[in-house]
Amino acid sequence: MNAIGWQIGAILFGISSVIIAVYISKLLNETTKSVNKVNNIIDYNQKSINEIIDDTAKITKRLAELTDIMDKVFGVLKILNIFRKR
Q: What is the pLDDT of residues 36-62, one digit of tens each?
A: 999 999 999 999 999 999 999 999 999
Distance of alpha carbon 29 from alpha carbon 21, whole angstroms: 12
| Average pLDDT of the residues of the chain | 89
Are 40 and 1 within one domain?
A: yes
Q: Which pTM was predicted?
A: 0.52
Among 57, 52, 54, residue whose Cα is nearest residue 42: 52
Q: Which domain holds residue 9?
A: 1-44
Q: Are residues 40 and 68 in the same domain?
A: no
Is 37 found in the same domain as 66? Answer: no
Residue 71 belongs to some domain of the structure: yes
Distance between CA atoms of residues 85 and 47, nearest Å: 56
Residue 73 to residue 13: CA distance in whole angstroms: 78
Total domains in the chain come to 2
